[in-house]
Amino acid sequence: MAGTSSYVHFHDIPNVVLAIIFSLVADTRTRNVMSLVCLKWHLLERSTRKSLTLRGNIRDLFLLPTCFRAVTHLDLSLLSPWGHPLLDSSSNPLFLTQLLRHAFPSVVSLVVYIRNPLTLHLLAPQWPNLRHVKLIRWHQRLPTEPLGSDFTALFEHFDLPPAIEAYPLIAASLSHLNILKHSSAEGFKSHELLAITASCPNLRKLLATCIFDHRFIGFVGDQTLLALASNCPCLSLLHLVDATSLSNIRPDPNNEGYTSEDASISHTTLGDVFAGLPLLEELVLDVCYNVRDAWPALELLNSRCPKLKALKLGQFHGICRGIDAQPDGIALCQRLESLSIKNSADLTDKALEAISLCCPRLSKFEVLGCKKITSKGMWELTHALRKTLVHVKISFCKNFNAVSSLQAIEPIRDRIERLHIDCVWDTLDNSENQTGCSSSQELGESYNLQARKRDMIKEEKRLKKKSKFHFHDVGEDNLFSSRTWSKLHHLSLWIGVGELLTPLSLAGLDDCPALEEIEIKIEGDSRNQQRPCMDSVGLRSLACYPRLSRMLLDCSGWERFFLNGIEILNLKELNYWLAQDMDVNQRSLFLPAAALLAQCGSLRKLFIHGTANEHFMMFLLRIPTLRDVQVREDYYPAPENDTSTEMRVESCRRFEDALNSSNRHIPD
């Protein structure tokens, strides 16, 4: 035995163990690299792949892979030609679906782009064990097809309640139903929602848009909520939002925060609803109409819903009184890990303090449209939760600008992973407001905040010394050891039209070594704005983030200016919402934007939300690494008689053929 070599090669590991190791790797590009090591690894990677997204043109059947026999999740939504019925490109669509079944026999989850009923009608029967179907449509439904015809392969009715009632066995087996993006702009009425829940008693997750305005017939009120809880007592996720909340319209900062109408929801009824849903883990109620004095009902959440971890409330007032630092209302929900408060008109700093002290598990906290809270209260909250809080959003809050928002979350600077702030650069209004603060009072609060910081520094020093731990001395302006946002990997920004991104680094976000994704939404009407200086406007200031690779950019009317400097960023993926023409309500890709995008030499994926000119799209072929391009908008591709865009069926195919041409060499 002493002379036996102890060297064991990796290939000596049994195939069964090696297959288990491969199955634990989820990242697609990592798996692709592994498959290039050797033939054995190639076969193992292909035989253990569970999820696959197909790209390319459906006409190229000879490129259809047949080695992914174990794939259970198949995504066909990115197949070309874009925006056209998937099977219309084939002269024999039934034969094409049979080829897909032969190549992927184990599919149980399917994602497909659909524009006519034939697609699902032919695909669904090919996989008898299909349990999950996700239908995607970025464009308008073909006007020649009757409403609801897309679902004929699964249901034979258009309206969802009759369809579910007609198939009681299927309805009874449903556990997850997401109908947030319903075709109706008004949302579901109360009788429709009750018909759905009555037919699906085993639902565990329900997400739906509703009507909470009592002035409309079929509004959701006390009786509807009680019946819903009775119909689906096993719900672990309940997500009910008013249809108007999906518009994301920025509220008036001078508004007090109360709507003109109250919702027909009482705190007594809410308590009974919570009692009927003991398994609830996540609750979202964004009703868009006043629910006043909600604290008694919210106090019951802790005892009646012991598993509740995530809570989002919209237009709820009196959720936590914060009187004499005594916990009440939402502060008693001690098991919460995620809390979002939207448009709570009477939320104060005292309430934030009570929440921070009584909800020690919070890792995510969002405040939107809360007019009375200040940076002092947010600083106290983030300091108290500095060991757990990693996700913060501060938006539409009157007393916050960009600088004060960053100062408020300074205690978790070295821990926060996801952050949203509003890029408001001007100074705060020091005139009398709802908080009763004048300019002298603001200065007094600032002084008190600094004094509070000094007291906490002394206390931390004392505790460190008592525990015999080494503690580095810090100054008054440097309470925490690092000025680096070391773990921040996602940054979301709202910015008004005409404002600049340049002050972002000056405000304190200059050192973010881990930042990988940024989301920017520009909002406002630029028609009355002066033309900005090209040297100051644009994305050039984002070059200080070395790992930035993904961007979601939603432009307003400043498209040609805001894209300035994008060529120096090392972006791999860009979701780009085009500038919107307010006069005709249309988003179009203009020549300056196309030319600037063509200079972004590292892009691999580009998703354009709007319409385009074929000539401008051809500019994008200059990007050497570009692999995936989609144009997503409800009027694209246009029919032949539509003059709003020059992208037609043949235009799409010409661009795609050029993109996938063998003459284009993609480096990796």
Separation of alpha carbons 136 and 195, rounded Å: 25
Using an 8 Å Cβ cutoff, are 424 and 496 in contact?
Answer: yes
Q: What is the pLDDT of residue 441?
A: 38
Q: For 606-643, write each residue's pLDDT tens digit.
A: 998 887 888 888 999 999 999 888 887 654 555 555 55
Using an 8 Å Cβ cutoff, are 256 and 434 in contact?
Answer: yes
Separation of alpha carbons 263 and 201, rounded Å: 27
Q: Is the pLDDT of residue 146 over 70?
A: no
Q: What is the pLDDT of residue 208?
A: 92
- Is CATH 3.80.10 the right assignment for the domain spanning 485-526+536-664? yes
Q: What is the pLDDT of residue 640?
A: 54
Q: Which of 137, 138, 172, 132 is nearest to 154 (CA)?
A: 132
Q: What is the pLDDT of residue 37?
A: 85
Q: What is the mean pLDDT of residues 294-315?
A: 93
Q: Is the pLDDT of residue 303 over 80?
A: yes
What residue spans define the domains of the chain?
485-526+536-664
Q: For 151-210, write each residue's pLDDT tens digit.
A: 556 654 335 666 666 667 777 878 888 888 654 557 889 998 999 899 899 999 999 999
Q: Which of 175, 209, 205, 173 is nearest to 189 (CA)?
A: 209
**Global pTM?**
0.80
- Classified as helix, coil or strand, 558 is coil
Q: Is the pLDDT of residue 371 over 60?
A: yes
End-to-end CA distance of the chain: 47
Q: What is the mean pLDDT of residues 538-547?
A: 91
Q: How many residues does the chain have?
A: 668
Q: For 24-73, write each residue's pLDDT tens digit.
A: 888 888 888 888 888 888 888 888 899 998 877 777 777 788 889 999 99
Q: For 443-491, write each residue's pLDDT tens digit.
A: 334 434 444 544 544 444 444 444 333 333 333 344 444 589 999 999 9
Give me the chain's average pLDDT, please. 81
Per-residue CA distances from 26 to 29, 172, 249 (Å): 9, 33, 37
Q: For 103-142, write each residue's pLDDT tens digit.
A: 999 999 999 887 777 788 888 888 888 888 888 776 666 6
